[in-house]
Structure 1
Amino acid sequence: MASSFSFLRTHEDLHSDLQVENTYNQTVNDTQIDKPTALSVYLLERRIDCMSISSIVEAIHKACRENKKITVANYNIHSFNLSMQLPWYYEFLQSAEIANCDSVGILKAIGYMGLDLPLDYRTSYTLLMPTILENCDRKNYSVFLLGGKPQYLQTAIDNLQFKYPRASFAGHHGYFDKQDPQANQSAIDKINQFKPNVLIVGMGMPIQEHWVQQHRHSLQVNAIMLGGAIIDRMAGAVPDCPHMISDVGLEWFYRFCREPKRLAARYLLGNPAFALHIALAMFHQMSLRVELTPKLENLDL
Protein backbone atom coordinates (compact mmCIF):
# COMPACT_ATOMS: atom_id res chain seq x y z
CA MET A 1 0.00 0.00 0.00
CA ALA A 2 1.57 3.28 -1.03
CA SER A 3 1.03 6.34 1.12
CA SER A 4 1.32 9.89 -0.13
CA PHE A 5 2.48 13.28 1.02
CA SER A 6 1.93 16.87 -0.07
CA PHE A 7 4.30 19.78 -0.61
CA LEU A 8 2.41 22.67 0.99
CA ARG A 9 4.96 25.32 0.08
CA THR A 10 8.27 25.41 -1.76
CA HIS A 11 11.56 27.15 -1.25
CA GLU A 12 15.04 27.04 -2.70
CA ASP A 13 16.91 23.97 -1.56
CA LEU A 14 19.28 24.85 1.30
CA HIS A 15 22.17 22.78 0.02
CA SER A 16 21.92 22.92 -3.76
CA ASP A 17 20.53 24.86 -6.68
CA LEU A 18 17.53 22.56 -6.85
CA GLN A 19 14.34 24.48 -7.60
CA VAL A 20 10.88 23.08 -6.91
CA GLU A 21 8.12 24.85 -8.79
CA ASN A 22 4.34 24.59 -9.06
CA THR A 23 4.10 21.98 -6.28
CA TYR A 24 1.51 23.60 -4.06
CA ASN A 25 -0.76 20.78 -2.82
CA GLN A 26 0.95 18.38 -5.23
CA THR A 27 0.62 14.70 -4.23
CA VAL A 28 3.61 12.44 -4.75
CA ASN A 29 3.64 8.66 -4.32
CA ASP A 30 6.58 6.46 -3.35
CA THR A 31 8.99 9.37 -3.50
CA GLN A 32 12.64 9.15 -2.53
CA ILE A 33 14.72 12.16 -1.45
CA ASP A 34 18.42 11.58 -2.04
CA LYS A 35 19.88 15.00 -1.20
CA PRO A 36 19.98 16.43 2.34
CA THR A 37 17.28 19.01 1.62
CA ALA A 38 15.92 20.61 4.80
CA LEU A 39 12.42 19.19 5.21
CA SER A 40 9.66 19.47 7.78
CA VAL A 41 7.82 16.14 7.74
CA TYR A 42 4.48 15.89 9.53
CA LEU A 43 4.21 12.31 10.77
CA LEU A 44 0.78 11.83 12.37
CA GLU A 45 0.70 15.65 12.51
CA ARG A 46 3.97 15.77 14.47
CA ARG A 47 6.38 18.21 12.80
CA ILE A 48 9.77 16.57 12.48
CA ASP A 49 12.51 18.78 11.04
CA CYS A 50 14.69 16.58 8.87
CA MET A 51 17.87 18.62 8.62
CA SER A 52 21.55 17.93 8.19
CA ILE A 53 23.95 18.45 11.07
CA SER A 54 25.46 21.47 9.29
CA SER A 55 22.00 23.06 8.95
CA ILE A 56 21.35 22.77 12.69
CA VAL A 57 24.80 24.15 13.50
CA GLU A 58 24.12 27.06 11.12
CA ALA A 59 20.77 27.79 12.79
CA ILE A 60 22.40 27.88 16.23
CA HIS A 61 25.22 30.08 14.95
CA LYS A 62 22.68 32.45 13.40
CA ALA A 63 20.82 32.75 16.71
CA CYS A 64 24.10 33.50 18.52
CA ARG A 65 25.25 35.99 15.91
CA GLU A 66 21.94 37.87 15.91
CA ASN A 67 21.39 37.51 19.67
CA LYS A 68 18.09 35.67 19.25
CA LYS A 69 16.70 32.68 21.09
CA ILE A 70 15.79 29.29 19.62
CA THR A 71 14.87 25.94 21.12
CA VAL A 72 16.30 22.79 19.55
CA ALA A 73 14.22 19.77 20.59
CA ASN A 74 14.28 16.32 19.04
CA TYR A 75 12.10 13.42 17.97
CA ASN A 76 12.97 9.83 18.71
CA ILE A 77 10.51 7.02 19.33
CA HIS A 78 10.25 7.82 23.04
CA SER A 79 9.55 11.52 22.51
CA PHE A 80 7.09 10.68 19.73
CA ASN A 81 5.19 8.40 22.13
CA LEU A 82 5.23 11.11 24.80
CA SER A 83 3.77 13.56 22.29
CA MET A 84 0.89 11.12 21.75
CA GLN A 85 0.28 10.82 25.51
CA LEU A 86 0.87 14.35 26.80
CA PRO A 87 -0.86 17.27 25.05
CA TRP A 88 1.51 19.83 26.60
CA TYR A 89 4.51 17.86 25.32
CA TYR A 90 3.07 17.82 21.81
CA GLU A 91 2.57 21.59 21.97
CA PHE A 92 6.13 22.07 23.23
CA LEU A 93 7.65 20.15 20.33
CA GLN A 94 5.42 21.91 17.84
CA SER A 95 6.46 25.30 19.21
CA ALA A 96 10.22 24.58 19.15
CA GLU A 97 12.05 26.35 16.35
CA ILE A 98 13.74 23.04 15.50
CA ALA A 99 12.55 19.52 16.38
CA ASN A 100 15.14 17.41 14.61
CA CYS A 101 15.08 13.69 13.82
CA ASP A 102 17.10 11.78 16.43
CA SER A 103 16.23 8.22 15.49
CA VAL A 104 16.63 5.67 12.73
CA GLY A 105 13.23 4.36 13.86
CA ILE A 106 11.60 7.68 12.96
CA LEU A 107 13.26 7.63 9.53
CA LYS A 108 12.01 4.09 8.96
CA ALA A 109 8.49 5.09 9.94
CA ILE A 110 8.60 7.97 7.46
CA GLY A 111 9.82 5.47 4.86
CA TYR A 112 6.95 3.09 5.59
CA MET A 113 4.60 6.01 5.05
CA GLY A 114 6.01 6.53 1.56
CA LEU A 115 8.99 8.89 1.82
CA ASP A 116 12.46 7.29 1.84
CA LEU A 117 15.04 9.56 3.44
CA PRO A 118 18.81 8.97 3.67
CA LEU A 119 20.57 8.39 6.97
CA ASP A 120 21.96 11.94 6.74
CA TYR A 121 18.72 13.12 8.28
CA ARG A 122 19.33 11.27 11.56
CA THR A 123 20.98 13.94 13.69
CA SER A 124 21.46 12.11 16.98
CA TYR A 125 23.39 13.87 19.72
CA THR A 126 26.22 11.39 19.30
CA LEU A 127 26.73 12.88 15.84
CA LEU A 128 25.46 16.42 16.40
CA MET A 129 27.00 17.48 19.70
CA PRO A 130 30.69 17.23 18.71
CA THR A 131 30.02 19.48 15.70
CA ILE A 132 28.11 21.96 17.87
CA LEU A 133 30.95 22.08 20.38
CA GLU A 134 33.61 22.40 17.68
CA ASN A 135 31.75 25.42 16.31
CA CYS A 136 31.49 26.89 19.82
CA ASP A 137 35.23 26.43 20.17
CA ARG A 138 35.94 28.20 16.86
CA LYS A 139 33.62 31.08 17.69
CA ASN A 140 34.63 31.42 21.38
CA TYR A 141 31.03 30.75 22.42
CA SER A 142 29.94 29.93 25.96
CA VAL A 143 28.08 26.73 26.90
CA PHE A 144 26.09 26.03 30.07
CA LEU A 145 25.20 22.50 31.16
CA LEU A 146 22.03 22.08 33.22
CA GLY A 147 21.49 18.58 34.55
CA GLY A 148 23.25 15.46 35.74
CA LYS A 149 24.61 14.53 39.15
CA PRO A 150 27.00 17.09 40.69
CA GLN A 151 30.04 14.82 40.34
CA TYR A 152 29.21 13.95 36.72
CA LEU A 153 28.53 17.58 35.88
CA GLN A 154 31.94 18.79 37.01
CA THR A 155 33.68 15.94 35.20
CA ALA A 156 31.77 16.82 32.02
CA ILE A 157 32.76 20.50 32.33
CA ASP A 158 36.41 19.58 32.89
CA ASN A 159 36.41 17.21 29.91
CA LEU A 160 34.83 19.77 27.62
CA GLN A 161 37.08 22.62 28.72
CA PHE A 162 40.13 20.49 28.02
CA LYS A 163 38.90 19.42 24.59
CA TYR A 164 37.49 22.81 23.54
CA PRO A 165 39.78 25.37 25.24
CA ARG A 166 38.52 28.44 23.36
CA ALA A 167 34.93 27.91 24.45
CA SER A 168 33.71 28.69 27.97
CA PHE A 169 31.81 26.16 30.10
CA ALA A 170 29.81 26.31 33.30
CA GLY A 171 26.96 24.33 34.77
CA HIS A 172 24.36 23.53 37.40
CA HIS A 173 23.39 20.01 38.44
CA GLY A 174 19.90 18.69 37.79
CA TYR A 175 19.18 17.42 41.31
CA PHE A 176 17.13 20.34 42.55
CA ASP A 177 13.42 20.54 43.33
CA LYS A 178 11.73 21.53 40.07
CA GLN A 179 8.59 22.45 42.05
CA ASP A 180 10.44 24.88 44.32
CA PRO A 181 10.33 28.46 42.93
CA GLN A 182 13.49 29.42 44.84
CA ALA A 183 15.44 26.42 43.54
CA ASN A 184 14.34 27.15 39.99
CA GLN A 185 15.23 30.83 40.32
CA SER A 186 18.65 29.94 41.69
CA ALA A 187 19.35 27.81 38.61
CA ILE A 188 18.01 30.52 36.28
CA ASP A 189 20.12 33.20 37.98
CA LYS A 190 23.25 31.11 37.59
CA ILE A 191 22.51 30.60 33.89
CA ASN A 192 21.77 34.27 33.27
CA GLN A 193 24.87 35.44 35.13
CA PHE A 194 26.95 33.29 32.77
CA LYS A 195 24.91 34.45 29.73
CA PRO A 196 25.66 31.37 27.62
CA ASN A 197 25.29 31.19 23.89
CA VAL A 198 24.21 27.56 24.19
CA LEU A 199 22.27 26.02 27.07
CA ILE A 200 22.23 22.20 27.14
CA VAL A 201 19.46 20.86 29.39
CA GLY A 202 20.01 17.21 30.29
CA MET A 203 17.34 16.10 32.75
CA GLY A 204 15.65 13.34 30.77
CA MET A 205 12.29 13.34 29.00
CA PRO A 206 9.79 14.82 29.75
CA ILE A 207 11.23 16.62 32.79
CA GLN A 208 13.65 18.73 30.75
CA GLU A 209 10.98 19.79 28.24
CA HIS A 210 8.58 20.76 31.02
CA TRP A 211 11.26 22.82 32.75
CA VAL A 212 12.18 24.64 29.55
CA GLN A 213 8.53 25.23 28.72
CA GLN A 214 8.01 26.82 32.15
CA HIS A 215 11.15 28.96 32.21
CA ARG A 216 12.20 29.63 28.61
CA HIS A 217 11.04 33.23 28.78
CA SER A 218 13.37 33.90 31.74
CA LEU A 219 16.51 32.42 30.19
CA GLN A 220 19.07 34.81 28.68
CA VAL A 221 20.52 32.38 26.15
CA ASN A 222 20.66 32.01 22.37
CA ALA A 223 20.08 28.29 21.86
CA ILE A 224 18.38 25.86 24.22
CA MET A 225 19.15 22.22 23.45
CA LEU A 226 17.30 19.30 25.05
CA GLY A 227 19.94 16.66 25.73
CA GLY A 228 18.62 13.78 27.85
CA ALA A 229 21.61 11.85 29.22
CA ILE A 230 24.14 13.88 27.24
CA ILE A 231 25.85 15.30 30.35
CA ASP A 232 26.48 11.81 31.73
CA ARG A 233 27.91 10.87 28.34
CA MET A 234 30.14 13.95 28.31
CA ALA A 235 31.42 12.87 31.73
CA GLY A 236 32.19 9.38 30.44
CA ALA A 237 29.70 7.78 32.86
CA VAL A 238 27.54 6.55 29.96
CA PRO A 239 29.33 5.42 26.77
CA ASP A 240 28.19 6.45 23.32
CA CYS A 241 26.60 3.77 21.18
CA PRO A 242 28.98 2.50 18.46
CA HIS A 243 28.09 3.87 15.02
CA MET A 244 27.82 0.42 13.47
CA ILE A 245 24.99 -0.36 15.90
CA SER A 246 23.18 2.98 15.78
CA ASP A 247 23.33 3.16 11.98
CA VAL A 248 21.18 0.02 11.67
CA GLY A 249 18.63 1.31 14.17
CA LEU A 250 19.67 -0.78 17.17
CA GLU A 251 20.86 1.96 19.52
CA TRP A 252 17.77 1.31 21.63
CA PHE A 253 18.84 -2.32 22.09
CA TYR A 254 22.38 -1.27 23.04
CA ARG A 255 21.07 1.09 25.70
CA PHE A 256 18.50 -1.42 26.91
CA CYS A 257 21.23 -4.03 27.44
CA ARG A 258 23.23 -1.54 29.52
CA GLU A 259 20.30 -0.27 31.62
CA PRO A 260 17.51 -2.89 31.41
CA LYS A 261 15.63 -1.88 34.57
CA ARG A 262 15.47 1.81 33.74
CA LEU A 263 14.71 1.41 30.05
CA ALA A 264 12.53 -1.70 29.93
CA ALA A 265 9.19 0.14 29.79
CA ARG A 266 10.49 2.72 27.33
CA TYR A 267 11.66 0.17 24.78
CA LEU A 268 9.74 -3.06 25.38
CA LEU A 269 6.42 -1.23 25.57
CA GLY A 270 7.22 1.99 23.74
CA ASN A 271 8.64 0.51 20.54
CA PRO A 272 5.63 -1.77 19.87
CA ALA A 273 3.26 1.12 20.70
CA PHE A 274 5.03 3.31 18.14
CA ALA A 275 4.92 0.53 15.53
CA LEU A 276 1.19 0.14 16.16
CA HIS A 277 0.60 3.86 15.58
CA ILE A 278 2.41 3.66 12.24
CA ALA A 279 0.63 0.45 11.22
CA LEU A 280 -2.76 2.00 11.94
CA ALA A 281 -1.81 5.12 9.99
CA MET A 282 -0.83 2.99 7.00
CA PHE A 283 -3.98 0.88 7.28
CA HIS A 284 -6.12 4.02 7.18
CA GLN A 285 -3.99 5.38 4.32
CA MET A 286 -3.04 8.48 6.27
CA SER A 287 -0.67 10.74 4.33
CA LEU A 288 2.49 12.56 5.24
CA ARG A 289 2.64 16.32 4.91
CA VAL A 290 6.01 17.66 3.85
CA GLU A 291 7.30 21.21 3.59
CA LEU A 292 10.64 22.30 2.26
CA THR A 293 12.26 24.36 5.00
CA PRO A 294 13.18 27.95 4.06
CA LYS A 295 16.81 28.92 3.75
CA LEU A 296 18.10 29.58 7.25
CA GLU A 297 19.08 33.16 6.60
CA ASN A 298 15.41 33.89 5.84
CA LEU A 299 14.03 32.19 8.94
CA ASP A 300 12.42 34.56 11.42
CA LEU A 301 13.96 33.18 14.60
Structure 2
Amino acid sequence: MNNKAELVRNDSAGIQLAGKILGTPIKERMTWADFGWDLAAYCEKEGLSMYFLGNEEGIPEKAKKRLQEKYPDLKVVGTHHGFFKKEGEENERIIQEINQLNPDILIVGFGMPLQEKWIRDNRNKLNVGIIMTGGNCFNFLAGTESRAPRWMHENGLEWLYRFLKEPVRMFDRYIIGNPLFFMRVFKQKFFG
Protein backbone atom coordinates (compact mmCIF):
# COMPACT_ATOMS: atom_id res chain seq x y z
CA MET A 1 0.00 0.00 0.00
CA ASN A 2 3.08 2.23 -0.37
CA ASN A 3 3.54 2.99 3.36
CA LYS A 4 2.57 6.65 2.91
CA ALA A 5 0.61 7.16 6.13
CA GLU A 6 1.93 9.94 8.33
CA LEU A 7 0.97 8.04 11.46
CA VAL A 8 0.29 4.33 11.93
CA ARG A 9 -1.86 3.06 14.78
CA ASN A 10 -1.89 -0.58 15.84
CA ASP A 11 -5.35 -2.03 16.37
CA SER A 12 -4.37 -5.71 16.24
CA ALA A 13 -3.19 -8.21 18.81
CA GLY A 14 -1.59 -10.07 15.90
CA ILE A 15 0.60 -7.07 15.10
CA GLN A 16 1.68 -6.93 18.74
CA LEU A 17 2.60 -10.61 18.64
CA ALA A 18 4.47 -10.15 15.35
CA GLY A 19 6.41 -7.28 16.93
CA LYS A 20 7.49 -9.55 19.78
CA ILE A 21 8.53 -12.30 17.37
CA LEU A 22 10.55 -9.84 15.27
CA GLY A 23 12.14 -8.17 18.30
CA THR A 24 10.31 -4.87 17.84
CA PRO A 25 7.83 -4.74 20.71
CA ILE A 26 4.68 -2.75 20.05
CA LYS A 27 3.51 -1.62 23.45
CA GLU A 28 0.01 -0.41 22.82
CA ARG A 29 -3.00 -1.58 20.88
CA MET A 30 -5.51 1.16 20.14
CA THR A 31 -8.84 0.19 18.61
CA TRP A 32 -11.77 2.46 17.82
CA ALA A 33 -13.70 0.72 20.57
CA ASP A 34 -10.94 1.91 22.93
CA PHE A 35 -10.44 5.50 21.80
CA GLY A 36 -13.48 6.56 19.72
CA TRP A 37 -15.29 8.12 22.66
CA ASP A 38 -12.13 9.86 23.87
CA LEU A 39 -11.61 11.30 20.39
CA ALA A 40 -15.18 12.62 20.40
CA ALA A 41 -14.64 14.24 23.81
CA TYR A 42 -11.41 15.84 22.58
CA CYS A 43 -13.05 17.13 19.40
CA GLU A 44 -15.94 18.63 21.38
CA LYS A 45 -13.55 20.33 23.81
CA GLU A 46 -11.30 21.69 21.03
CA GLY A 47 -14.14 22.59 18.65
CA LEU A 48 -12.90 20.21 15.93
CA SER A 49 -15.38 18.97 13.34
CA MET A 50 -15.71 15.45 11.95
CA TYR A 51 -17.19 13.73 8.90
CA PHE A 52 -18.11 10.01 9.00
CA LEU A 53 -17.76 8.11 5.71
CA GLY A 54 -18.43 4.38 5.55
CA ASN A 55 -20.40 1.37 6.66
CA GLU A 56 -24.01 0.58 5.80
CA GLU A 57 -26.60 3.27 5.23
CA GLY A 58 -27.83 4.66 8.54
CA ILE A 59 -24.93 3.42 10.67
CA PRO A 60 -22.76 6.59 10.48
CA GLU A 61 -25.87 8.63 11.38
CA LYS A 62 -26.53 6.39 14.41
CA ALA A 63 -22.91 6.79 15.48
CA LYS A 64 -23.23 10.57 15.16
CA LYS A 65 -26.46 10.61 17.17
CA ARG A 66 -25.07 8.42 19.92
CA LEU A 67 -21.87 10.46 20.24
CA GLN A 68 -23.81 13.74 20.31
CA GLU A 69 -26.08 12.41 23.06
CA LYS A 70 -22.99 12.24 25.28
CA TYR A 71 -21.15 15.20 23.72
CA PRO A 72 -23.88 17.64 22.63
CA ASP A 73 -21.44 20.24 21.28
CA LEU A 74 -19.59 17.70 19.11
CA LYS A 75 -19.59 18.84 15.49
CA VAL A 76 -20.18 15.94 13.12
CA VAL A 77 -20.76 18.02 10.01
CA GLY A 78 -21.70 15.16 7.71
CA THR A 79 -22.13 11.45 7.20
CA HIS A 80 -22.34 9.14 4.21
CA HIS A 81 -22.54 5.37 3.89
CA GLY A 82 -19.69 3.49 2.26
CA PHE A 83 -21.63 1.70 -0.48
CA PHE A 84 -20.97 3.97 -3.43
CA LYS A 85 -18.82 3.72 -6.54
CA LYS A 86 -15.30 4.59 -5.44
CA GLU A 87 -14.46 6.30 -8.73
CA GLY A 88 -16.27 8.44 -11.24
CA GLU A 89 -19.15 10.85 -10.79
CA GLU A 90 -20.59 9.47 -7.55
CA ASN A 91 -17.18 9.47 -5.87
CA GLU A 92 -16.49 13.03 -7.03
CA ARG A 93 -19.88 14.18 -5.68
CA ILE A 94 -19.07 12.78 -2.23
CA ILE A 95 -15.61 14.39 -2.25
CA GLN A 96 -17.24 17.71 -3.19
CA GLU A 97 -19.69 17.38 -0.28
CA ILE A 98 -16.87 16.64 2.16
CA ASN A 99 -14.88 19.62 0.88
CA GLN A 100 -17.89 21.95 1.14
CA LEU A 101 -18.46 20.89 4.76
CA ASN A 102 -14.71 21.30 5.44
CA PRO A 103 -14.30 18.92 8.40
CA ASP A 104 -11.15 18.95 10.48
CA ILE A 105 -11.19 15.13 10.63
CA LEU A 106 -12.49 12.69 8.04
CA ILE A 107 -13.01 9.13 9.27
CA VAL A 108 -13.20 6.55 6.48
CA GLY A 109 -14.66 3.20 7.50
CA PHE A 110 -14.77 0.90 4.45
CA GLY A 111 -12.69 -1.91 5.91
CA MET A 112 -9.18 -2.84 4.97
CA PRO A 113 -7.69 -2.51 2.34
CA LEU A 114 -10.50 -0.65 0.53
CA GLN A 115 -10.36 2.37 2.87
CA GLU A 116 -6.58 2.69 2.50
CA LYS A 117 -6.83 2.49 -1.30
CA TRP A 118 -9.63 5.07 -1.38
CA ILE A 119 -7.65 7.45 0.81
CA ARG A 120 -4.52 6.98 -1.31
CA ASP A 121 -6.45 7.62 -4.53
CA ASN A 122 -8.39 10.65 -3.25
CA ARG A 123 -6.14 12.31 -0.65
CA ASN A 124 -5.04 15.09 -2.98
CA LYS A 125 -8.66 15.99 -3.80
CA LEU A 126 -9.76 16.29 -0.17
CA ASN A 127 -9.56 19.54 1.79
CA VAL A 128 -9.43 18.06 5.28
CA GLY A 129 -6.81 18.30 7.97
CA ILE A 130 -6.72 14.69 9.13
CA ILE A 131 -7.94 11.48 7.50
CA MET A 132 -8.27 8.43 9.73
CA THR A 133 -9.09 4.86 8.80
CA GLY A 134 -12.03 3.56 10.78
CA GLY A 135 -12.65 -0.02 9.69
CA ASN A 136 -15.77 -1.07 11.54
CA CYS A 137 -15.69 1.89 13.94
CA PHE A 138 -19.15 3.23 13.15
CA ASN A 139 -20.80 -0.01 14.28
CA PHE A 140 -19.00 0.21 17.62
CA LEU A 141 -19.78 3.91 18.03
CA ALA A 142 -23.41 3.38 16.98
CA GLY A 143 -23.80 0.54 19.47
CA THR A 144 -24.88 -1.90 16.75
CA GLU A 145 -21.95 -4.22 17.37
CA SER A 146 -20.68 -5.37 20.72
CA ARG A 147 -17.10 -5.72 21.80
CA ALA A 148 -15.62 -9.03 22.88
CA PRO A 149 -15.66 -9.75 26.59
CA ARG A 150 -12.85 -7.95 28.39
CA TRP A 151 -10.87 -11.13 29.07
CA MET A 152 -10.86 -11.94 25.33
CA HIS A 153 -9.61 -8.56 24.08
CA GLU A 154 -7.05 -8.32 26.90
CA ASN A 155 -5.64 -11.70 25.83
CA GLY A 156 -5.56 -11.12 22.08
CA LEU A 157 -8.67 -13.17 21.34
CA GLU A 158 -11.00 -10.50 20.01
CA TRP A 159 -10.49 -12.00 16.55
CA LEU A 160 -11.98 -15.28 17.79
CA TYR A 161 -15.03 -13.48 19.18
CA ARG A 162 -15.59 -11.72 15.84
CA PHE A 163 -15.07 -14.96 13.93
CA LEU A 164 -17.59 -16.84 16.09
CA LYS A 165 -20.15 -14.06 15.57
CA GLU A 166 -19.65 -13.83 11.79
CA PRO A 167 -17.84 -16.97 10.55
CA VAL A 168 -18.70 -16.54 6.87
CA ARG A 169 -17.66 -12.88 6.66
CA MET A 170 -14.52 -13.33 8.77
CA PHE A 171 -13.36 -16.69 7.35
CA ASP A 172 -10.88 -15.31 4.81
CA ARG A 173 -9.50 -12.72 7.21
CA TYR A 174 -8.88 -15.01 10.17
CA ILE A 175 -8.67 -18.60 8.93
CA ILE A 176 -6.71 -17.85 5.76
CA GLY A 177 -5.24 -14.40 6.47
CA ASN A 178 -3.86 -14.98 9.95
CA PRO A 179 -1.75 -18.05 9.05
CA LEU A 180 -0.45 -16.28 5.91
CA PHE A 181 0.46 -13.23 7.97
CA PHE A 182 2.40 -15.31 10.51
CA MET A 183 4.12 -17.29 7.74
CA ARG A 184 5.42 -13.94 6.46
CA VAL A 185 6.47 -12.90 9.97
CA PHE A 186 8.46 -16.11 10.48
CA LYS A 187 9.95 -15.87 6.98
CA GLN A 188 11.16 -12.35 7.82
CA LYS A 189 12.49 -13.49 11.21
CA PHE A 190 14.45 -16.46 9.91
CA PHE A 191 15.27 -15.53 6.32
CA GLY A 192 15.36 -11.74 6.42
What interval of TM-score do these two structures reach, taking the shorter chain for normalisation? Answer: over 0.9
> Is 2:3 the counterpart of 1:105?
no
* SS in structure 1 at match of 2:9: strand
The structure that is helix-richer by fraction is: 2
* SS in structure 1 at match of 2:79: strand
- Partner residue of 1:254? 161
Q: Deviations over 1:219-259 (max 9, x none)?
A: 11111010111112222222123332112111110110111
Q: Deviations over 1:79-113 (max 9, x none)?
A: xxxxxxxxxx2x0xx11101122112111111112
Residue 173 of structure 1, aligned match among 41, 62, 81: 81
* SS in structure 1 at match of 2:20: helix
Q: Deviations over 1:119-154 (max 9, x none)?
A: xx2122222222211110111211100012222222
1:1-301 → structure 2 map (5 Å cutoff): 89=1, 91=2, 94-118=3-27, 121-169=28-76, 170-179=78-87, 181-284=88-191, 286=192
- 1:139–1:167 contact (8 Å) kept in structure 2: no
Structure 2 alignment gaps of length 5 or more: none
The structure with higher relative contact order (CA 8 Å, sep 6+) is 1
Distance 2:187 2:92 in 1: 44
Structure 1 alignment gaps of length 5 or more: 1-88, 287-301
* SS in structure 2 at match of 1:196: coil
* SS in structure 2 at match of 1:111: helix
Q: TM-score, normalised by structure 1?
A: 0.60
Q: Deviations over 1:192-221 (max 9, x none)?
A: 121111111011111111111111111111
Distance 1:200 1:100 in 2: 14
Distance 1:155 1:282 in 2: 44
Query: What percentage of residue pairs aligned between the two structures are identical?
Result: 35
The structure that is strand-richer by fraction is: 1
Number of residue pairs the alignment of both structures matches = 191
* SS in structure 2 at match of 1:213: helix
* SS in structure 1 at match of 2:143: coil
Q: Which has the larger radius of gyration?
A: 1
Distance 1:206 1:117 in 2: 22
Q: TM-score, normalised by structure 2?
A: 0.93
1:100 partner letter: R
Tell me by how many angstroms 1:117 deviates: 4.4
